Chain A
Amino acid sequence: MHGTHRIVSKTQLSEEVFRIEVEAPLVARERKAGQFVIVMYDEEYSERIPLTIADADPVRGTVTLIFQTVGASTHKLALKNPGDEIVLLGPLGNPTHIERFGWAVCVGGGIGLAPLYPIAKAMKEAGNRVTVISGARTKDLLIMQKELVAIADEHIVVTDDGSFGRKALVTEPLKELCMQSPPPDIVVTIGPPIMMKFCAETTRPFGVKTLASLNTIMLDGTGMCGGCRVAIGDQTKFVCVDGPEFDAHLVDWNGMMMRLGTYKEIEKEAHDRCHLEMQIAKLEAHAADKESAK
């Protein structure tokens, strides 16, 4: 039986953010900007973790994933090393609708900058003028900056604490851009739900078409379970097959955020346990080192 894929490289981008490159020739060949994969760190007990394809190299047959260690499962994934095999299914979801809109503003927050990159790149390749707004809590969490700078016509950086770029939330420069005339033709936003919600509220009065890439809880990623459902206008949609991108002005953000919290308590417990285990492992390794040094 085949179905696992080998990790070929791993880089730590910041304390919490990792980049892995995984051998998956078919996925690398088929995927388009905006699509994602589901990975599992093993075949028996792993959770199914949706991650956007941040980049792909069809020639080498690899896909690049960038993820933040937010809970137990992403931590366990971060423990995998080059040479290890992981489960990977994809490409899933619909590709971003890319065309020559004119002026495209791409807004990314935190880890959302990783999935934003392929979309911004595709927008640029389609002949759009691309403005990127990169936002993060603090300087260390700003990722993909080199790549984004390389393709953006303009690049605006903001941090919550002012440790780099402007001290502001992404909605501030976004509003300024919307006030220009003519305003942007399209805005794409990826990041924490709360950020996407406020981006939607920022562009709404200007009538600027805004797309958001939703990161709901997912299980199969193929439309089988309905766990990823979210209200879009007066309809319920499955993010994994109908999305992941939707008109940000129609998304029921509050409903989506509530559903994201479904397992919060259990996950926190698992996360804490995972931290504890890693702490113990470190201590033991330290003790063993000391032992062997003697």
Chain B
Amino acid sequence: MSHKEDFTMDNAELELAKLRAAPITPKIRLQIPPQDMPAQDPAARRSNMEEVALGYTPAQAMLEAERCLQCKNAPCISGCPVRIDIPGFIGKIKEGDFLGASKIIKKTNLLPSICGRVCPQETQCQAPCTVGKALGGVEKAVQIGRLERFVADYERAQGAMEMPHVAPPTGRKVAIVGAGPAGLTCAVDVRREGHEVTIFEAFHKPGGVMVYGIPEFRLPKVLVQSEAEVLECMGVDFELNFLVGRTRPLRALMSEDGYDAVFIGTGAGLPKFMNIPGENYVGVFSANEYLTRANLLKAYMRGMAGTPIYPSRRVAVLGGGNVAMDSARMALRLGAEEVRVLYRRTREEMPARAEEVAHAMEEGIIFDFLKSPTRVLGDDRGRVAALEVLSYELGEPDESGRRRPVPIRGSEQIIPFDTVIVAIGNESNPLISHTTPELQVDKHGHILVDEKQKTSIERVYAGGDIVLGAATVILAMGEGRRAAQAINEILQ
């Protein structure tokens, strides 16, 4: 733990006392600086798997809460995909009623300890925040995500986790395919109404990307596990190691096994590669493979885990999103000497959460902006030896509004690497659609749904990354919730 933590803690208590000595005007509120979240020292954390961000202390949370202006129109709410009553819960924090704050959040968000940690707040709830706008920068907005995390962690630490109420049995059965955030959320909302719920999951642990992709140091797995336990306590049944489409056809769940409705939340599990020469050399991995080995199969616990991980010294990570940040930081923790992120555009265009980029930089990850590889070079044993890299400059904006990177002719250079991790995104896994031809998908393989998340098959709903393409945890949850509503309606 860093010295920084003690420093801010003392500071926050003093500041809070000072502040509350007199009536607080909006002007004063705007003068309170955004509270930093204590974090493990970068030098220490780059070689351990423990969580990087340590969370606010109660005093820090209350001080941060004082920054909120309690806007009447609350623009922040419209930035949150599940419409949490943000001023409402922040108001409770101000009063020191943390459990009350939690109650408000849980009305619309079942997994606050997770969302508080992984939501891209700077493009969601914090983007329209009045405080950020007034101070001229989204980074100065009220730190809604950090507050949400604080409240959720506080509730857990008190052992005060509340189980959602379950209505008496209705005799109806619902199958959920995939135990990612979309499936878990849908399961809770359907189960509440008293319907029987079974979740079918291909892996041996529930959580989806939250357990196999997002690393321990960013989202401790006990959090996901304890959410799954809440579902179990509610009477949700988990069938793990069950691949719908192979272990059992989707259709048979309804026609033979008696499920009245199905929700498909199978995620976007199909890794994209660069399609450049040399990509099959030993030492080139998809981020999915690298992270699954490291997270789900615990390859970082050498000696204990049966699953090996490639020993790397110089690692190139291709991409600029959360997946790229996670891969780079994981490689560092697994002992790499130098990790470089190669991204075709610049820092401004990076889709990763701002906090992850900042943390990665602090840890010593090197960023090569405006660069993209054209070729992987191998040695005589077929192992990665280097990348041929082309430099780019930013040209005219493209259809996404971002300036298009244009290659600079003749700028190729050879950079030595022994490992390449491709983190340029995922497409949708075609297994279910291939084994269920009547299920309509678009040209990218995303399942087509209507405004109620219903697919082309009666009583079959879908949501999350399999519909949206690679999106976010909270959007997946929002879709799971909307589907649950529709399912509950038809089962009434």
Contacts from A to B (Cβ < 8 Å): 1-4, 26-27, 30, 40-41, 43-48, 72-73, 76, 87-92, 219-220, 222-227, 229-231, 236, 241, 252, 254-255, 258-259, 261-263, 265-267, 270, 273
Contacts and interface: CB of A to CB of B under 8 A. Distances in A.
Interface string B202-244: 1111100000000000000000000000001000011111110
What 10 A-B pairs are tightest by C-beta distance, nearest first? A3-B240, A258-B382, A47-B306, A225-B289, A224-B269, A3-B241, A1-B238, A263-B308, A226-B286, A266-B308
Contacts of A224: 269-271, 288, 292, 429
B301 interface: yes
B439 interface: no
Contact of B204 (A3, A30, A92): A3
A227 B286 contact: yes
Given A92-B246, A227-B289, A230-B280, A87 B241 contact: yes
14 contacts: A1-B238, A30-B248, A40-B204, A72-B306, A91-B247, A219-B297, A219-B307, A222-B202, A222-B429, A222-B431, A224-B269, A230-B280, A255-B280, A273-B303
Interface in B413-457: 429-431
Nearest to B232: A1
A45 B306 contact: yes
B292 A44 contact: no
Nearest to A274: B306
Contact of B429 (A3, A48, A223): A223
A263 B306 contact: no
Given A1-B240, A3-B241, A26-B248, A270 B269 contact: no
| Interface residues of chain B: helix, strand, loop or mixed (majority) | loop
A198 to B, nearest CB: 20
B369 interface: no
B292 A45 contact: no
| Interface residues of chain A: helix, strand, loop or mixed (majority) | mixed
B58 to A, nearest CB: 35
A155 B145 CA distance: 69
B305 interface: yes
Nearest to B240: A3
A46 B297 CA distance: 7
Contacts of A223: 269-270, 429-431
B305 A259 contact: no
A52 B109 CA distance: 43
A3 B238 contact: yes
Nearest to A263: B308
Interface size class of B (residues with CB under 8 A): 35 or more
A47 B292 contact: no
A26 B246 CA distance: 10
Contact of A262 (B202, B310, B431): B310
Given A48-B307, A259-B282, A266-B311, A241 B247 contact: no
Interface of B: 201-206, 232, 237-243, 246-248, 269-271, 273, 279-283, 285-286, 288-289, 292-293, 297-298, 301, 303-308, 310-311, 381-383, 429-431
A222 to B, nearest CB: 6
A173 B438 CA distance: 47
B198 to A, nearest CB: 10
B306 A46 contact: yes
A87 B282 CA distance: 28
Given A48-B307, A270-B306, A219 B280 contact: no
B285 A236 contact: no
A207 to B, nearest CB: 28
B246 A258 contact: no
B388 to A, nearest CB: 19
Contacts of B282: 258-259, 261-262
Contact of B246 (A30, A40, A44): A30
Contacts of A236: 273, 279-280
B247 A219 contact: no
A83 to B, nearest CB: 19
A231 B277 CA distance: 12
A219 B246 CA distance: 17
A259 B285 CA distance: 11
Contacts of A229: 280
B247 A90 contact: yes
A27 B204 contact: no
A44 B296 CA distance: 9
B240 A2 contact: yes
B310 A263 contact: yes
Nearest to B382: A258
Contacts of A255: 280, 382
Given A45-B305, A222-B431, A255-B280, A91 B246 contact: yes
A41 B306 CA distance: 10
Contacts of B298: 44-45
